[in-house]
Each structure stands twice: as structure tokens, then as C-alpha cells.
Structure 1
Amino acid sequence: MKLTYAHFANLFILLCFSCTYIKNSTDKTDELPATALQPYGRYSLTHAQKLELISAAVHFGYTFEGNESRVFASVPNTNGHNYLQYELDGEYQKRVKVSGNATEPIVIKAPAGGKHTVWVYKATEAHTGPVLIDKVTGENVQAIQKPDAPIIEFIGNSITCGAAADPSEVPCGSGQYHDQHNAMMAYGPRVAAAVGANYVISCVSGIGAYRNWNSDGPAMPQVYEKIDFQDSNPQRWNFETASPKVVSIALGTNDFSNGDGKKERLPFDSTRFIQEYVKFVELVKKKYPQASIALLSSPMVNGKNRQILQSALTDIKAQIDSTYPTDKPVALYFFQPMQASGCTGHPSVEEHAVLAQELAPFFDRLLKADL
């Protein structure tokens, strides 16, 4: 076939278009949608396919190459704010405030080129509200999973949440309650790191086993199955998402609370506490039949109440062990007394390190019990 000038012109245009397409494909910034991320902890996907980070210290990881990556995050309340925090190449960096009216992404800068690993954590608890992740961008950005390891679920109250622990940016007594949250620096994540485990946290500030800090409920047994620990939410958490080898339960601090001194507060009811706690342990065992159960006391309950709490936990262990004689016995751990110096008498970030150091051998033994 004879090639005309028009044929040559069309071939030239096609080659130019192909070269341009290849160049643009090579130069474009890689993008990782929220649906590709692999979070640990309680989360959901919105109708808009954004990743909704719900529970304290729920986290996801990714790698990128070069000097920076960007995390596109927001909160549903345009007038509100929340917090993320992150690690870069295994080193903790900082908390990052996410405002409802923010328009710019979070920029994570690396000191040098090459391949880098980032883990992003929600710094606050579920009741603070979710943080939405739209996407992550960066050169050759890829979602990653943590190395395969046993999982510990830490159930508890504000101490387990890492609430009121970090006044480094907003001083105690100022700002909002969640301005001092630092979930990944709480004792649970630190224990998990020390014993080589993965973790999830299920916590609510002010919550108890049968009553809360300043109310009669709903307590943890009533909200545990709800995805965000809100009793009014019909959506339930899918417990098949994770299979913890150990479930740690630390409740009791708020059951002993005297409240705000204004609302009527009846004396602590040991019988009811034990009854409701036993029912809750039974609920957890239904969710995770193979898991070991560990009951922790409270570093914030001292004096006579400390002895009452320890006695009650001992009774709870005896009842559960009797009811489930072929299961692994319930493990008990009683904290050493602590005069906490964080906000409103909570353990500080530094004191959470002390709690974790104290707990690590206990959890290490539990994880190795079946090996």
C-alpha cells in the first residue's frame, strides 16, 4: 500500500500522543484511596468510600519513596477538631490537629530520600468522633500490614484511652477534653510493642462495669457491641475483624467514683459490680472463645477501695473459672498504687510508660502460655 503524506502525518501524531501519555503516567503522583488501606481497630467505610477511623489508636500503615507524602484527612463537624499522630520509619513524630474547616492535607516529610514507612494513628477515643481519611498520596505509595503477630485487645476507660495524658500542646484545664488525648502513648500500645504483639483498643472515658463516672449507665456491657460505643447507634461492630489471643479488661475506676458531688450517687455496690462484670466477661468469651481473659485493677483506685476492687476481681475470676472449667483460667493483675500527675489525676504519658513496663512481663507470659 502506498503511504501518502496524510498517513505519515497521522502516524507522527499517534507517536507523539503515545510518548506524551507515557511521560505523564511516569510523572504523576501516586495515590492510595482510603479503600486500599488496611486499618487495625474499629473503623468503617462511608458511602463516599472514605475511611472512618473510630476507636482509640485505630491505625493504618503505608510506604512511600522520596521526601514526602500527604494524608488527606477531615472531621465531619466543620466547627470541630480531632487529632491524628504518626510514626515515620519506626520513630514517633507528633500529634496533628485535624480541623473541620481544613483544606490542606497533612504533609509528612522525610529527612532524606529512599523508601519510608509511616503508621498513622487516631489519637483520641471513639466518643470524640471519627477522623475521615480520603486518600494518601506520594511516590510509589503502598498500603502495608503489620507483621503477623498475636493480637491483644485492651478494654477499659479513660486510662486505657490515654485520655488527659498529654498537655504538651494544650495545658491541663484549657481547651477541650480530647485536646490532651494521646492514645498510642497509653499503656496498651506500649505493652504490645514490648511483647511483640498487635493490638486494638476498646475504651470509653468515664465508663464502668455497672455504672459510669457520673451516671448510672449505659456502662461498658451495654455499649461494647456498638461500633462506636454509643448506645443509641444501631450499627454493631464486626467481631470477626480481629481474633485476639488475649483480651485485657480494666474496669472499676469509675464504678468507685463519687461523681461530681452534685448528682446523687449511691455507695458502691460490690454485689452488682461483680454480677455485671461476670456477665460482661461472658459476653467477651462469646465473641472470642479461644482468647485468654485478663482482668486488671486500677492504678487510680487506692486505699480501702483498692482492696475492695481486688477482692471483687478475685471473686469474678473464681466465678468464671468455675463456669468454664475447660477454658483457660482468667488471669489477674493488680497495679501498684500510683499518684498520677496527668490532667485531672490521670496518668501522664510518662506514667503510662511506667504502667507498661510493669505490665509487659504479665502479658508476655500470657502470650507464651500456649507456645
Structure 2
Amino acid sequence: MELTAAALQPIGRYQINTNSNLELITSAAHVGFSFEGTEATVVAGAGWEDGHSYLQYELDGVFQKRVRINGLTDTLAINAPTSGKHTVWLYKTTEAHSGPLVIQKVIAPKATAVTRSSAPLIEFIGNSITCGAAADPSEVPCGTGEYHDQHNAYMAYGPRVARALNTNFVLSSVSGYGVYRNWNNNGPSLPDVYEKLDFQPATTQRWDFRKFTPEIISIALGTNDFSDGDGKSVRLPFDSARFVSRYVEFVRNVKSKYPQAQVALLSSPMLNGAKKQNLENYLATVKAQIDLAFPSDKPVALHFFKPMQATGCTGHPSVSEHGIMANELMPFFKKLLE
């Protein structure tokens, strides 16, 4: 039987397009389905004729592999080792700015949509690190192919923490973006595009924040604000007052969407020395201002990463280093969930 894309229950930002297909938009946005028998076929596309995207999938709770999806229509055959009922979860590997992963339909015996569990949900807001960008050169070496060829959202720190703690998750992250400026330009930054469906400045469609209600909102921004840029684009010297004020403004906006959620601010494992200390100081200032403004809410939680020398592409954490970050974060988030 055919299970239409519109019948699926996505987790993450998405939309149903004019062809009634499901566009998974954000990093690691995912959908689940069950089927009976030994084979299921997923019909998917990259969203544009000459492009490509990637998906990753689990079969019966076990991660399988990353799959390249080519052109407007491609197919993925999923083979189960035994008959009976099986559950599949499909994950978008790439980020919103790389275009959508389009799910058209699932063809399998007794195919049925799977809904997310009732477990708490964590929203991970951030930059390329949160996306899992430049983490996986196992198929396309660093410095070759296109930027999204080395993405691996499934293995990014956020999804790994969520899986370990049996929580749901969504990623709201954009490579290169910061709190008030980006790695090589003055914006628009992440707070400027957070309400846009796909984080694109020109997009008029806004995300419906009633779709999901996170229990915890994790924000990991600042790496790009502190960056030295690309040496070509002109940026003014780092402005600490503006950084703090924009961060406070952003946290206030996020809290307006989800008044009951606890906010957690993460530092950057990419910064060392004075930059590391300054970011931590500014995050403490943001916490103090938010806690003062919302005295009856749960206080803002802080986690300061241990610095690392990242070995992924262009100085990003590798898949294994995301595992190190996730292991460091698990006790922190476990405590917040208690």
C-alpha cells in the first residue's frame, strides 16, 4: 500500500508543498512509519532537478546509513532481515539553507505513520556545530563537493543527547550565524530569522510555534560573533554590549513562544583563551538579566564546554567529536529533565 507524505507526522520544521509532498526543512527533521514484511520503498527528492540532498535512517531502532537523494525523484529501498512488523525513522541530514528533503510517499505492506512519543522535547538552537555541518567526510572528502556533502545531523551533539536521554528533539540552527552578526557579515543573524519557516531572510512564511512545545530550549550561539571573519568582508570590531543586549532580546522572544520551557545557554567548544572567557562572562550576564526579569520562572541554566581542537572539515567538530560533546552534555540535560 502507499502511505502519502501528507499522512506522515514530522518532527522538526516542515511544510506540505503545492504537490502535496512533505518538505523536511530543518537539520534532522524526521518522520517515522511502520510496515510489515521485508521491504519498504521511500520515494523522495532533493527539491530541485539538478540538486541532491541526504537522508539517514533507522530500522527498528538501529541506525543504518546516510543516503544521497538525487534530483526531483529518487527511491530508497529498505530491506528488513525478517518478516513481521518493522519501524523506520527517516532523518534529514542537511540544514535548511541546503534546501528541503522532499518525501513523496512510502510504498510498503500495511504502511502506517508513526507519531512521536510523549517524552519531553528539547529544541537545540545554534549554528553549524548544532547542524552537524562539516562533520562527516567519510563519503565526500573535506574541500570537495558541496558544503552539505559533509553534513551529518543525525550524529550531531543534540540528537545524540536526545537519543541517550530518550527525549524528542528539533534543531533550529544555521551555519555561520550568530547572535548579532555572522562569521563573515553583519547579518541578518539567527535571532533575525528564527521566526521564518526556513530561516531564510527573504522568506515571508513564518513558522507556527504551536506545532511543538519544548520542555528545554538549548541555545548555543556566539562562535560566529567572535570569529575573525573571512578577511574580505568588512565587519566592525566585536561589540560586547550589543552581543549581550541582542542575546537577552532573543531569549525574551524565545520565552514568549514557550513560556513554560527552561532555557539553557551553551558556550562554544571552538573558543579558547580570552574569547572563551569573554563568551562565558557574557552568557552569565545574559542569565542574570533574564533571571531578574523572570523571577518566577526556572532560572537559566549554563554549560561551558571544555575547549577542543576540532578535526572535522574547516575546523568543525567531527562525528566522533560530536560524541565527546554529547557525553559532556548528558549529565547537564539529564539534571534539567528531572
Normalised by the shorter chain, which TM-score bucket?
over 0.9
Deviation at 1:304, TM superposition (A): 0.9
Judged with a 3 Å threshold, the aligned counterparts in structure 2 of structure 1 residues 101 and 144 are, in CA distance, closer, same or farther, namely closer
Task: Output one character per residue of 1:107-154: Cα deviation in whole Å (capped at 9) or x when no partner.
Answer: 111122221110000000000000111110101111111321000000
Contact map agreement 2:35 2:110 (CA 8 A) in 1: yes
User: What is the CA–CA distance in structure 2 between the aligned matches of 1:91 and 1:173, rounded to whole Å?
Assistant: 30
Whether 2:51 is the aligned partner of 1:72: answer no
Whether 2:89 is the aligned partner of 1:122: answer no
Whether 2:69 is the aligned partner of 1:98: answer yes
Whether 2:143 is the aligned partner of 1:145: answer no
Over the matched positions of the two proteins, sequence identity in percent amounts to: 62
Whether 2:13 is the aligned partner of 1:61: answer no
Task: Output one character per residue of 1:60-106: Cα deviation in whole Å (capped at 9) or x when no partner.
Answer: 0011111110111012211111111101111111111111154x421
Contact map agreement 1:258 1:265 (CA 8 A) in 2: no
Task: Output one character per residue of 1:249-281: Cα deviation in whole Å (capped at 9) or x when no partner.
Answer: 000000001111122232211111001000000
- Of 273, 276, 282 in structure 1, the residue corresponding to residue 243 of structure 2 is 273
Q: Structure 2: which 5+ residue stretches go unaligned?
A: none
Contact map agreement 2:47 2:72 (CA 8 A) in 1: no
Counterpart of 2:141 in structure 1 is: 171
Q: Structure 1: which 5+ residue stretches go unaligned?
A: 1-29
Counterpart of 2:152 in structure 1 is: 182
User: What is the CA–CA distance in structure 2 between the aligned matches of 1:97 and 1:175, rounded to whole Å?
Assistant: 13
Deviation at 1:228, TM superposition (A): 0.1
Counterpart of 2:7 in structure 1 is: 36
Task: Output one character per residue of 1:5-62: Cα deviation in whole Å (capped at 9) or x when no partner.
Answer: xxxxxxxxxxxxxxxxxxxxxxxxx110011100000000012211011000000001
Contact map agreement 2:11 2:116 (CA 8 A) in 1: no
Counterpart of 1:159 in structure 2 is: 129
Contact map agreement 2:185 2:234 (CA 8 A) in 1: no
- Amino acid across the alignment from 1:269: D
User: What is the CA–CA distance in structure 2 between the aligned matches of 1:146 and 1:288, rounded to whole Å?
Assistant: 19
Moved over 6 A (4+): none
Counterpart of 1:343 in structure 2 is: 313
Counterpart of 2:280 in structure 1 is: 310
Contact map agreement 1:85 1:123 (CA 8 A) in 2: yes
Taking structure 2 as the reference length, the TM-score comes to 0.99
- Amino acid across the alignment from 1:55: T
- Amino acid across the alignment from 1:56: S
If each structure's helix is expressed as a fraction of its own residues, which one has the higher value?
Answer: 1
User: What is the CA–CA distance in structure 1 between the aligned matches of 2:257 and 2:26, rounded to whole Å?
Assistant: 18
User: What is the CA–CA distance in structure 2 between the aligned matches of 1:170 and 1:121, rounded to whole Å?
Assistant: 19
Counterpart of 2:185 in structure 1 is: 215
The number of equivalent residue pairs is 338
SS of 2:10's equivalent in the other structure is coil
Whether 2:323 is the aligned partner of 1:353: answer yes
Q: Highest CA radius of gyration, 1 or 2?
A: 1
SS of 1:283's equivalent in the other structure is helix
User: What is the CA–CA distance in structure 2 between the aligned matches of 1:44 and 1:101, rounded to whole Å?
Assistant: 17
User: What is the CA–CA distance in structure 2 between the aligned matches of 1:248 and 1:76, rounded to whole Å?
Assistant: 29
Contact map agreement 2:34 2:114 (CA 8 A) in 1: yes
Taking structure 1 as the reference length, the TM-score comes to 0.90
Whether 2:198 is the aligned partner of 1:228: answer yes
